[in-house]
A and B are shown apart, each in its own frame.
Chain A
Amino acid sequence: MSLLNVSVQKQVIQVFNQIKFPVRLLVFSQGEGGALECQMCQDTRQLIEEVAALSDKVSVEVYDFVSDATIAKQYGVDKIPAVVIAGEKDYGIRFYGIPSGYEFSSLIEGILSIGRREPKLNKKTVQEIQRLNRPVHIQVFVTPT
Chain B
Amino acid sequence: MVLAHNLALASNWIQADMVEASEFPHLANKYQVYGVPRTVINEVIHLEGAYPEDMLLTELMQVMDEEVVSHL
Contact = CB atoms under 8 A, between A and B. Distances in A.
A121 B6 CA distance: 7
A120 B3 CA distance: 8
B18 A96 contact: yes
A99 B16 CA distance: 14
Interface centre among A105, A110, A114 (most CB of B within 10 A): A110
B53 A103 contact: no
Nearest to A85: B5
Interface residues of chain B: helix, strand, loop or mixed (majority):
mixed
A73 interface: no
Interface residues of A, number: 47
Contacts of A94: 15-18
Interface residues of B, number: 43
Contacts of B3: 121
B5 A110 contact: yes
A91 interface: yes
A110 B2 contact: yes
A126 B39 CA distance: 20
22 contacts: A81-B23, A85-B5, A91-B8, A92-B12, A92-B15, A93-B5, A94-B15, A94-B17, A97-B24, A103-B20, A113-B6, A121-B3, A125-B7, A126-B10, A128-B57, A128-B61, A139-B19, A140-B37, A141-B19, A141-B39, A142-B36, A144-B20
